[in-house]
Structure 1
């Protein structure tokens, strides 16, 4: 392999013997190296080929602007996640996570704070990824000398959730899309109205349905909660939204053979109400 570009001491863009470009990583693999030199393949611990030109272009666009410490930070975070979740991640995670963390660091240093509307969902439905990402947040803040908002833990967790689901077959994607469309039709018919698909409430609702559909499709169980306070309050405060959700529950029971727990029902009702209030 011959070096095309040195990103830092531990990451390179190379050409293999078949003239295919690869992104390779390994401790010290790029130390004092220059383009045109030969790579010591025994130092390679990770290597990726580019399935599309767009993948290569995205990596170059992002990694060419990343400080060396951010490249190493992203690699360390992904390595720990692979060990904890017993999973190997694709190149796309190295790109998307690096881009997100770089942007988060940059805007935090500029004094810009952005709230993540999906924190509740991530904490509840992806507790393991969220817990690990909270640990990551401490490391990022310490290593980079900044103070990222705790909401960033949810955003980072979602990158790992999405990366885990990248290898889902096309049929899963089709099923989830159909699932979302079916529920949106139920809500539209119940209220006899169309919704602003660009609104935050609509996007939140669709995102919630997406994750709900994935869990149903993968057969993840819904456990009954002992505390019914939230459920009772939502039913009392939003009777019309609750009736609409009853239609959705009937659909889930008849078509998907799925029954939701009361916590799920309460939060689904809140999403419907937000959609109507918009």
Structure 2
């Protein structure tokens, strides 16, 4: 017969809705639920029927940051954020960095505060986000619907773009929100260089375009995280330069842009990587 798990005990009451405790593996956790901490004292058992979310804190700094955030944000905003993240995980089918619970709750809270004050911030990258991160953007649109249903507040479309960027950031390790924004700008500029170099419009609804965007995302992520590609055979590199001269010329323009804008030198391997994929997308 399976041994019944020991009930969670209150270690510290943060507020009426938040309690610090430990799980069965002695990891520090924050347990959230409406009224969960009401009239509770250290040592009391936690009413598991009231638990809405359990946050596992692996680092002390993360724990303190989360406590500070959850103390100052209305539980309704946190509940909405958790629902959005659960939907995002299901829709995207990918693991999200746990920091999304902090960053997105913070963003949504301030977005709702701005709404109450009549302040509307335009998202300068909204068009690019729609094109480059369409799935994340659609999740952002659903997030606005969840906020409308739960809180009765209609946030502007710009916020769907901001939420999408938070999701993109949570899908990529070692990237800050600022780097995610810069990465989005870089990808859009690379697409412009290709269009002008070949004097063509790319079919944004084709499977080839979608694959190309995926390649550009990984390319930009490697640059922003300082991850190098494996070396290619020198003979192979020279053969590609000769075979795809026009495409390599386009890649050199991209190299000049990246050096001027970010001060980074593209390796020969990255140049060839881009050349091959530019050849594929311009053939369609």
TM-score normalised to structure 2 length:
0.58
Residues 218/91 of structure 1: CA separation in 2 closer, same or farther (3 Å cut): closer
- 1:111 counterpart = 2:111: no
- Unmatched 5+ stretches in structure 1: 174-199, 220-241, 266-278
In the TM superposition, residue 93 of structure 1 has moved relative to its aligned partner by 1.0
- The worse-fitting range, judged by mean Cα deviation, of 84-93 and 68-77 is 84-93
In the TM superposition, residue 140 of structure 1 has moved relative to its aligned partner by 1.1
In the TM superposition, residue 130 of structure 1 has moved relative to its aligned partner by 0.3
Residues 24/31 of structure 1: CA separation in 2 closer, same or farther (3 Å cut): closer
Residues 109/29 of structure 1: CA separation in 2 closer, same or farther (3 Å cut): closer
State how far apart, in whole Å, the 2-side matches of 1:62 and 1:258 are. Answer: 42
Residues 87/246 of structure 1: CA separation in 2 closer, same or farther (3 Å cut): closer
- Unmatched 5+ stretches in structure 2: 1-7, 189-212, 223-250, 259-264
The alignment covers a number of residue pairs equal to 208
| Bigger Rg, which one | 2
Q: Deviations over 1:19-53 (max 9, x none)?
A: 64212357x79285624221256876754332322
Q: Deviations over 1:53-111 (max 9, x none)?
A: 22112111111122121121111111111122223434311111110000000011111
TM-score normalised to structure 1 length:
0.59
Match of 1:95 among 71, 91, 102: 102
Match of 1:209 among 165, 186, 202: 186
Residues 258/8 of structure 1: CA separation in 2 closer, same or farther (3 Å cut): farther
Q: Deviations over 1:229-251 (max 9, x none)?
A: xxxxxxxxxxxxx99547459x8
3-state DSSP class of the match of 1:148?
coil
Match of 2:83 among 70, 76, 81: 76
